[in-house]
Structure 1
Amino acid sequence: MKPRQRKDTEKDMKFKLLEPDDFDTYTPYFRNQSYDLCIYTLPSLIVWTNSLARHFVAMREDMLLIYIDYPKGHIPPHLIMPISPEREIDPEELSAICSSTDFQTISNIPESYLGRFGSEKIAPFFQIEEQPEYEDYVYRTEDLSFLKGNKYAKKRNLIHQFEKEYVVKNRVTVEKMSAATATECLIFLEKWCEEKDCGENRDKGLASEREAAINAILNIESIGIQGILLRIDGEVNAFGMASNLNPETGVLHFEKAFSRVKGLYQYFDRECARRLFGESPLINKENDMSIPEIAHAKNSYFPLMRVKSFKFTLV
């Protein structure tokens, strides 16, 4: 199914499918971006372009416009916030952008934007609707790196059991992900998906995440993502991939580990915090995709805050 054709602006602007080869071209737009939802990292936008959701981009004056199209038609196409390295776009200009591009809706608007402009400046142009399914979990890097205090006692106990069984016996190695490790990581991902039953017919969220993770693995050296993997007896049993959202926050895009290995996830999560976020005081672990199991796991690490997401629809 082809994406709906959009009206061009006065600049005869054209949208194109976002691809890995576009990383260098669009990186300058993201260097000073101010939005604190995980979607506003260029690596995330690139890897989440797949068979279930496709991201299209266009350069317009001093900003980058992005819309999301859903080939299977279950959600209408919509914009996300414009990305500008120089300024923030006010509600009146957002409204004009929607009109000129023939979109009714802007999605994934962080709560901080509402805080800066206030509903009184937004309401003349848009209806405001919360999107709980896109609410991000944010943690202190220090908390996840050291797991201090009684609230993390169970996590530390599981880590101790894992270390006793595997680490002390020199059965574990942790290394950087690279193009050379791609095949092994893909094999592990397929085994993990069998364990979690993440085929499209089972859960579209997990199926889409699987495609995104494959994209990230195959392009890890060219789109600004850093990753680590963990081996037990030489075999990949976990991997994690991250990128920077802003100077204070990194995003943990993917973190997979076999649940059948006791304590592995807890040990590996601590390693990700220590090895991937040394320069970021905060870690954004994205949203829970409205999957209760994922929500429970994220809450068990006691997030510092949740970043709410909103949708604007033209009045």
Structure 2
Amino acid sequence: MKKLALEDYQLLKPYFATQPYGLCTYSLPSLIVWSNHVFQTFYVIENDSVIIANESGCRPEENHLLLPVGPSGLPPPEELAALALQTGYRQYGSVPEDYLEQTGKEKIGPYFIVSEQPEYDDYVYLTADLSQLKGNRYAKKRNLLHQFSRDYLQLNRVVTGPITPAEVVECLDCLEKWCEIRNCDVDQDLSLACEKEAVINALNHYEHLDMKGLYVRVDGEICAFCISSHLRPDMGVMNFEKALPHIRGLYQYLDNECAKHLFKDYLYINKESDMGLPALAESKHSYHPVLKIKSYRLALR
């Protein structure tokens, strides 16, 4: 297998263009920007499909394959088992629940032990819900938007627009400020340090990876930005959302603007998982997902 790199994007893009899986893991740009010295991704093209392997430098017991991506449809369990034996990766991760539903657990059971990965369940929202924020359930969000509008928008203190090469350096500065607040570089919080590296990769290469971004400038300074990518024809992924916390209502404004502008061509917005973090789970639930896509692990018997 070859280590996944930026220059592989154009080669692999056609395989991912119409892939059916709803978990954010199957976003090719996301796989590329998250591949680093700790979490490495490898691939090989075989029988018109891309075989992806993810490895963790600190938790090798979690090394796994993803479901093959290509035009051949859902692979049967016996093919997955043979591939696992062939590659030496004895388990699959980020297997979406619809694979189990369409294939049937009774067919999977003879080959694999199936277990849930709740920390990797993805939150999916209707684009219309997040762009319009209608109804009583979004009253708190609208209230924060009104406060932001009163204190900033109505005073002409805000400029919003698509990220271009001219804004990248300022977005990186915003990321540094956000990370200082969140202690991204503290060793014990490896996930934040790796996310920081992934955001830097995305900002530096977003054009090459067909990612889209939006920034919010307050009083002349970029204080928030978001980056998205394609997942499947009806769904995009909100890969990264960063907003400095001292500006009340800024995050809600950013989220609303991203839904309006970055996802207008998609029915659904995938806002990824909560990684098992209660505060993140509470935040994601507060936007009322229309569904959660469960993630499963398939381990060879």
Please state whether the residue corresponding to 2:149 is helix, strand or coil: helix
Superposed, 1:234-249 pairs within 5 Å as: 234-249=220-235
Superposed, 1:3-42 pairs within 5 Å as: 15-42=1-28
Distance 2:196 2:186 in 1: 9
In the TM superposition, structure 1's runs of 4+ consecutive aligned residues that sit over 4 Å from their partners are: none
- The alignment status of 1:54 with 2:40, answered yes or no, reads yes
Match 1:263 to one of 237, 241, 249: 249
State the TM-score, normalized to the length of structure 2: 0.97
Q: Which residue of 2 aligns with 1:96?
A: 82
Gap regions ≥5 residues in structure 2: none
Distance 1:106 1:194 in 2: 36
Say if 1:66 and 1:79, in contact at 8 Å, map to a contact too. yes
16-25 or 74-83, which moves further after superposition? Answer: 74-83
Superposed, 1:37-186 pairs within 5 Å as: 37-73=23-59, 75-186=61-172
| 1:182-233 Cα distance to aligned partner (Å, 9 max, x none) | 2111111010011122224242222221111111011011001001011001
| 1:159-184 Cα distance to aligned partner (Å, 9 max, x none) | 00101111111110111112222211
Please state whether the residue corresponding to 1:115 is helix, strand or coil: helix
Please state whether the residue corresponding to 1:98 is helix, strand or coil: helix
Distance 1:265 1:76 in 2: 33
Say if 1:178 and 1:220, in contact at 8 Å, map to a contact too. no
Please state whether the residue corresponding to 1:58 is helix, strand or coil: strand
198-207 or 40-49, which moves further after superposition? Answer: 198-207
Distance 1:225 1:90 in 2: 32
- The alignment status of 1:233 with 2:187, answered yes or no, reads no
Please state whether the residue corresponding to 1:168 is helix, strand or coil: helix
Distance 2:190 2:221 in 1: 28
Alignment CA distance shift 1:200-1:112 (3 Å): farther
Match 1:276 to one of 254, 262, 279: 262
Distance 1:311 1:200 in 2: 30
Superposed, 1:276-295 pairs within 5 Å as: 276-295=262-281
- Residue 63 of structure 2 aligns to which amino acid in structure 1? P
Distance 2:129 2:59 in 1: 41
- Residue 196 of structure 2 aligns to which amino acid in structure 1? R
Distance 2:195 2:275 in 1: 10
| 1:51-85 Cα distance to aligned partner (Å, 9 max, x none) | 22010111112110110111234544211111112
Please state whether the residue corresponding to 2:30 is helix, strand or coil: helix
| 1:10-57 Cα distance to aligned partner (Å, 9 max, x none) | xxxxx1111111110000111221111001011011011012201011
Q: Which residue of 2 aligns with 1:9?
A: none
Distance 1:52 1:101 in 2: 21
Aligned residues: 301
Q: Which residue of 2 aligns with 1:191?
A: 177
- Deviation for aligned residue 1:244: 1.4
- Residue 286 of structure 2 aligns to which amino acid in structure 1? S
- Deviation for aligned residue 1:127: 0.4
- The alignment status of 1:251 with 2:264, answered yes or no, reads no
- The alignment status of 1:303 with 2:256, answered yes or no, reads no
Say if 2:74 and 2:99, in contact at 8 Å, map to a contact too. no
Distance 1:309 1:170 in 2: 44
Once the two structures are aligned, what percentage of the paired residues are identical?
45
Distance 2:254 2:230 in 1: 20
- Residue 94 of structure 1 aligns to which amino acid in structure 2? L
Gap regions ≥5 residues in structure 1: 1-14
